[in-house]
Amino acid sequence: MKAVFLEAPGSIGIRDMAEPIYEAGMALIKVRAAGICGSDIAAYRGTNPLVTYPRIIGHEIAGEIIRIGDNPKGLKEGGRVILDPYLYCGKCYPCSLGRTNCCETLRVIGVHVDGGMRGYMLYPQNMLIPVPDGIEWEHIPLAEPLTIALHAIHRTRLKAGEHVVINGAGAIGVLTAMCAKAYGAIPIITDLVEERLEFAKENGIPFAINPLANDPMKIISDITNGRMAEVVVEASGAGGAIRAALDMVSYAGRIALTGWPREETSLPTGMITKKEIDIYGSRTSAGEFEEALMLLSSGKVDAPAILSKVISMDGIPAIVAEQSAHPERYLKVNALI
Ligand SMILES: NC(=O)c1ccc[n+]([C@@H]2O[C@H](COP(=O)([O-])OP(=O)(O)OC[C@H]3O[C@@H](n4cnc5c(N)ncnc54)[C@H](O)[C@@H]3O)[C@@H](O)[C@H]2O)c1
Ligand SMILES: [Zn+2]
Ligand SMILES: [Zn+2]
């Protein structure tokens, strides 16, 4: 079989490898579709310290079950599944709370262990989620970034009628805004790149602000009648946007920190006390794939709209290199494997 292989940072190609052999307790999957994510680009660039090399990349993976034994979920050969890529220990404190996404020894496929951009994969049965009918193969991997968006929404308990400022109109920010709308909330998205704001507006996000051109605090205040946003989701990783979240949020408001910052940001913590702000870390997802797949299959969230392109497996190395050099070029690229 073929696999998309990173020998080392900056060195990506397709390699021939032996197919995995079925083992009891696992499922043998024929991979059918994969999403290219910012973290695959970071693995290529060598900027994610968690990635070890050599590595098969890819954690947004959908496929067909080729072989599986008896299993509690009733998964069958021929069934379509998406892989939950966050492998947890099940024993540590966060795992004991069901918060397996922040397991002390979390291993993510494509990062800590080999990922799914390859012909076949052996995967634990309990980490497979059945996919409802009616979703195209190339759209199924979008359920993974959708779970990231849903996790931020769940962490902050976003409700219908509330305003949510989302900093960053990348794939994660736009999906968060789409999910917020599906929840009946009012999303306000910010980005420094005009094209990304235009895209958000064209896709039904009612408010899009460029902080370089306008004063976001004034606009958010006008939209919310002076209250400011009940919820802010930080989905840029930029220090300035993290700092700004404290001004954008209302008194008694909630903030989710989803973006991975590269550096430390200093914050006026007195403002957190004064406004009594709840700040939540929001990492990956736990038990949120079913909802993401439901939003996709029902069309309640038009996640396929964020796809800039669908390519074949052979095209992955070139597009990963291109996305690394020109991150603004594509919002999201998926591949049929
Ligand atoms: N917590 C998690 O589990 C998780 C999962 C996936 C991605 N992430 C992180 O979420 C963030 C978003 O991911 P993505 O794939 O959408 O990335 P992306 O790079 O496509 O999007 C980030 C966007 O933020 C914008 N931006 C930069 N500075 C800004 C500022 N000051 N104000 C407003 N916008 C600004 C950029 O122009 C870009 O459009 C990244 O930091 C990524 O590492 C976290
Ligand atoms: Zn991803
Ligand atoms: Zn654990």
Residue spans of the domains in the chain: they are 2-131+307-336, 148-281
CA distance 62 to 93: 30
CA of 286 to the centre of ligand 3 (A): 12
What's at 28, amino acid-wise? L
What pLDDT does residue 261 have?
Answer: 94
What's the CA-to-centroid distance between 79 and ligand 3, angstroms? 29
pLDDT of res. 177: 98
Residue with CA at minimum distance from ligand 1 atom 9: 259
What pLDDT was estimated at residue 316? Answer: 98
CATH class of 2-131+307-336: alpha beta
Task: Look at residue 148 in the predicted model and tell me its pLDDT.
Answer: 98
Instruction: Using 70 as the pLDDT threshold, list the residues of the chain that sit under it.
Output: none
CA of 88 to the centre of ligand 3 (A): 5
Minimum CA distance residue for ligand 1 atom 8: 259
Q: How far is CA 164 from CA 239, 260, 265, 303, 336, in A?
A: 19, 19, 22, 19, 34
Around ion ligand 2, residues with a beta carbon closer than 5 Å are 37
Under CATH, which architecture does the 148-281 domain have?
Answer: 3-Layer(aba) Sandwich (3.40)
Q: For ligand 1, which residues put their CB under 6 angstroms from it?
A: 38, 148, 167-173, 190-193, 196, 211, 235-238, 240-241, 258-260, 282-284, 327
Q: Is the pTM of this model over 0.95?
A: yes
Residue nearest to atom 3 of ligand 1 (CA): 284
Measured CA distances, 20 to 28, 89, 142, 215 (Å): 8, 23, 25, 55
